[in-house]
Chains A and B, each alone.
Chain A
Amino acid sequence: MEVIEIPIEKLKMAPWNPNKMDTKMQAYLKTSLTSFGLVQNLVVRPLGDGSYEVLSGNQRLSVLKEMGMKTAPCFVRELDDSHARLLTQALNRVQGEDDLGLKAESMKKILESLSQQEVMEILPDSFASLNALQTLNTDNIADRLMNWESNRHARLKHMGFQLTLDQQQVVQQALNLMTPKAKASNSESPNINGTALYLICKDFIENKGE
């Protein structure tokens, strides 16, 4: 199939193309086009009046116009409406997906020589997601599980109570009354409210519920 350089003013966006791109993603596209140039040709069909409708590359066309480009390389296909829409749907939707393990390998290679900042100007990844990818499959599972095990033992136990406003005021009053004792109790728990509740319960049990 022949690739033709077509003047930008002769290229018309297909208004029926449902593919959308927000301004943030368009900024990534612009950085990519500036850095690497247009490495993927547009796909268009002739409209019969000397202009062409863009079936694939509407977002690129928008950025190319913004960049002041005069022409764009296009694959030209003569298609009726139905087939034009079908091809557009196929180009929009029929694609592979990254295996995250292999993507992580690839990102590691990239980040060996490029900075995270540089990568994040081209790709819509956050620092957190890049870091997560960089550590993927590098963990020692034994260390992770042992770390998880010690963390869960260090974590104070959580008990949730749901109270009406009146009940909450009474409970808070009781906790406030016990707070000085809780502070003086040298409890292992750093949570004063928890210790105060524990002491109230302990008193209650020692007094056999009276």
Chain B
Amino acid sequence: MHTVLTITGAASVKDSTIPIQGIEPGSNPRAALHSLNVQGIDRAIAAEVIKHHHYLHSFPGGTKLSLGVFDRKRLSGALTLGVGPKNAHCLVENTSADDCLTLTRLWLSDDLPSNSESRVLAMVVKLLRKHTTIKFLLSYADPSSGHVGTIYQAAGWLYIGLSAAMSLYDLGDGVARHSRSVGQIFGSHSIAHLTKNGINVKTIPQSPKYRYVCFVDPAWQSRLRVPVLPYPKKEKSDGSN
């Protein structure tokens, strides 16, 4: 039975037998971390998990790999790797889009112990290094959702500055669409082209995102075209860092 220490009086400390959620009897958080396992999962199952649990509640288009995070037999998380922003691979010299994947979604159950995210990211990088020719991973943290990329920082990913602010598009129905979706519908997301052809389109400005890179093949780090910067810090509620 996993135990927690409970202070019951000014000077007394005794063992409590209250189990911590998600930690099975006989285990401890460190052991629980080592019980995590990453497996390939069916795209439909990944979509179900991500749509239900991830804060964006959407499954990203362009997903190339869907992975599940298992805590013994429980499916306690899921992540997707896929196509990121167009030409994002150009952040690294002499690369093609095939050398790079973007971590587009990651969700882990709150029941998992702390540090599970960095453990899972390390496992994914190790698997990609061993079994694929992927050279680097990119990921983005959205400051407008209060994210600075803490998990990437904890996992030792490199911070490479803010991405360009991409706008979303409203075609008059109030739905915010990615430029790629608009391009799939009309063949272009050029405002001039759409307006000229009578499409009522409005842009919805988005804030730039914190950009992180992880070199699956460390030898490729020397090809990075942009400087590695100090990690951004989460703003405190009083506006200070």
Which chain A residues have a beta carbon within 8 Å of chain B's beta carbons?
A: 97, 99-102, 104-105, 128-129, 132-133, 135-137, 139, 141-142, 144-146, 148-149, 152, 162
Q: Does the CB pair A145–B131 fall under 8 Å?
A: yes
- New A-B contacts (14) at CB < 8 Å, excluding given A141-B40, A142-B131: A100-B49, A101-B70, A102-B73, A102-B75, A132-B45, A135-B42, A137-B41, A137-B73, A141-B39, A141-B67, A144-B39, A148-B64, A148-B132, A162-B187
Residue in B42, B127, B133, B188 whose CB lies within 8 Å of A136? B42
**A129-B44, A132-B45, A162-B188 known; A137-B131 Cβ under 8 A:** no
Q: Does the CB pair A139–B39 fall under 8 Å?
A: yes
Min CB–CB distance B207 → chain A (angstroms): 28
Q: Does the CB pair B74–A99 fall under 8 Å?
A: yes
Residue of B nearest to A104 (CB): B75
Q: Does the CB pair B131–A101 fall under 8 Å?
A: no
Residue in B76, B132, B183 whose CB lies within 8 Å of A145? B132
Contacts of A100 in B (CB 8 A): 45, 48-49, 75
Q: Does the CB pair A101–B38 fall under 8 Å?
A: no
Contacts of A149 in B (CB 8 A): 131-133
A139-B65 Cα distance, complex, nearest whole Å: 14
Residue of A nearest to B190 (CB): A162
Kindly state whether residue B98 has any CB partner on chain A within 8 Å: yes
The number of residues on chain B lying at the interface, defined by a beta carbon within 8 Å of a beta carbon of chain A, is: 29
Which chain B residues have a beta carbon within 8 Å of chain A's beta carbons?
A: 38-42, 44-45, 48-49, 52, 64-65, 67-68, 70, 73-76, 98, 127-128, 130-133, 183, 187-188
Contacts of A145 in B (CB 8 A): 40, 65, 127-128, 130-132
Residue of A nearest to B52 (CB): A97
How many pairs, one residue from A and one from B, have CB atoms within 8 Å of each other in the complex?
72
Q: Does the CB pair B68–A137 fall under 8 Å?
A: yes
Contacts of A146 in B (CB 8 A): 131-132
Min CB–CB distance B228 → chain A (angstroms): 28
Residue in A105, A129, A135, A144 whose CB lies within 8 Å of B73? A105
Residue of A nearest to B111 (CB): A99
Min CB–CB distance A72 → chain B (angstroms): 33
Residue in A105, A128, A137, A152 whose CB lies within 8 Å of B39? A137
A133-B45 Cα distance, complex, nearest whole Å: 8
Q: Does the CB pair A102–B40 fall under 8 Å?
A: no
Q: Does the CB pair A142–B130 fall under 8 Å?
A: yes
Contacts of B127 in A (CB 8 A): 141-142, 145
Residue of A nearest to B109 (CB): A99
Find the residue from A102, A135, A145, A149 having the highest chain B CB count within 10 A: A145
Contacts of B130 in A (CB 8 A): 142, 145
Contacts of A142 in B (CB 8 A): 127, 130-131
A97-B64 Cα distance, complex, nearest whole Å: 28
Contacts of B73 in A (CB 8 A): 101-102, 105, 137
A142-B98 Cα distance, complex, nearest whole Å: 19
Find the residue from B41, B44, B133 having the highest chain A CB count within 10 A: B41
A128-B98 Cα distance, complex, nearest whole Å: 30
A181-B21 Cα distance, complex, nearest whole Å: 68
Some 9 contacts from A to B, beta carbons below 8 A apart, are: A136-B41, A136-B75, A137-B68, A141-B40, A144-B40, A145-B65, A145-B128, A146-B132, A148-B65
Residue of B nearest to A126 (CB): B44
A104-B68 Cα distance, complex, nearest whole Å: 13
Residue of B nearest to A128 (CB): B44
Min CB–CB distance A106 → chain B (angstroms): 10
Contacts of A139 in B (CB 8 A): 39-41
